[in-house]
Structure 1
Amino acid sequence: MPALDPGSTALVLVDLMERIVALPLAPRPGTDVLAAADRLAEGFRAAGAPVVHIRVERPGVDTQPPGSELVAALVHEGDPVVVKRTIGGFQDTALHELLAGHGVSTLVFGGIATNLGVESTARAAADLGYELVFAEDAMTALTADEHHASVRLDFPRLGTVAATAEITLDGSS
């Protein structure tokens, strides 16, 4: 896979929240996804590319469930955080405006769950004209079948599926 331009590429990490990462997931545990996402995020930050975190809040409740915070070690100062109240990250949020403000035209995705928050956000991004890359080992789902359906059937129609080790920014890993 060719190196991506850090001036027009953003890493988008979906729902890497404590309670979601702790779920029984497949084909890999949430801790493996966090490690892969962290490696990607470090490379993006080093290249000057934005790392955007999306987290969900349940609408109509006074208090979010315990563990609704993003995994703290993953979020660094200056990383934008977008709060969504639907499955996808674009609906009724300022995500598109945020990305446009950074001059972003390519998105690299990771997160949980592959077939829910990641795929819903990616479909909207494709509709908005973004180029998409999916970091397969930086995502997982509630079942391996759900993950594989997205990664093998849907994502190749929307963009490029790659391992995190293959995703570089102008020579940075």
Structure 2
Amino acid sequence: MEKLLDLQKTALVVIDLQKWLGSKYAPYSAEQVVSNAAALADAFREHGSMVALIRVSSKDMKDIPKPKLDSPSPPLNLPEEWDQIVPELKVADTDHVITKKQWGAFYGTELDLQLRRRGIDTIVLCGIATGIGVDTTAREAFMHGYQQIFAIDAMTGFSEAEHDHVKNTIFPRIGRTRTTQEILSALAEA
């Protein structure tokens, strides 16, 4: 049976686990997602594999896309240090913190460059929200030719319907879906 991942060629990519996290997510809570992502990050670090922590940030919001919408966007109400990675992820000196200005982690960032320079051809993807930052990044990764493993219980959506649509419709076409425990077990065997 083929191994799930090769530690030398696989990176963990964590999307938007920042201090701005709200409380209305499904099917998993923000706490569950952060806990699972932190376990994955710790395991990847232990094996010397790349960990990329993706965050969205802006000084004045003038560099964030502002599309014309049929209905107004919900207010942001950003807390102090909203753009900082949550402390539970214990950002390490070896981590790559990548700042983005839009939903996807590849466009306008150095993520692809840093992955390729390290010979990475597979990413394990997790974060919030399944149907926005995670899905957009997954589609970009697919277009860049990366193999993908989706840590399905280390991500969540703004609704269960959003999460399930991406999990059941998009992910099966562009990668493999596994639980955090399945990925941790594969890391232990690698």
* TM-score normalized with structure 2 length: 0.84
Shift of 1:72: 2.1
Code of the residue aligned with 1:73 in structure 2: it is E
Shift of 1:170: 6.0
Mapped contact 2:7–2:187 kept (Cα < 8 A): yes
Code of the residue aligned with 1:76 in structure 2: it is A
Q: Which moved more, 1:31-40 or 1:69-78?
A: 69-78
Code of the residue aligned with 2:54 in structure 1: it is I
The corresponding residue for 2:30 is 30
Mapped contact 1:110–1:136 kept (Cα < 8 A): yes
- Answering whether residue 141 of structure 2 is matched by residue 125 of structure 1, we say yes
Note the aligned Cα RMSD (angstroms).
Answer: 1.7
Give the distance between the partners of 1:12 and 1:41, measured in 2 at CA.
9
Mapped contact 2:34–2:88 kept (Cα < 8 A): no
After superposing on structure 2, the runs of 4+ consecutive aligned residues of structure 1 that deviate more than 3 Å are none
Match of 1:60 among 62, 66, 81: 62
Within 5 Å, which residues of 2 pair with 1:94-173?
Answer: 94-167=110-183, 168-169=186-187, 171=189
Per-residue Cα deviation, 1:36-75 (whole angstroms, up to 9, x for no partner)? 11111111111111110000124317xx932221102302
Code of the residue aligned with 2:38 in structure 1: it is D
Give the distance between the partners of 1:2 and 1:147, measured in 2 at CA.
27
For structure 2, which runs of at least 5 residues remain unmatched after alignment? 64-76
Give the distance between the partners of 1:65 and 1:98, measured in 2 at CA.
29
Give the distance between the partners of 1:109 and 1:95, measured in 2 at CA.
13
Give the distance between the partners of 2:182 and 2:28, measured in 1 at CA.
19
For structure 1, which runs of at least 5 residues remain unmatched after alignment? none
Count of residues paired in the alignment? 169
- Answering whether residue 96 of structure 2 is matched by residue 72 of structure 1, we say no
Higher Cα radius of gyration: 2
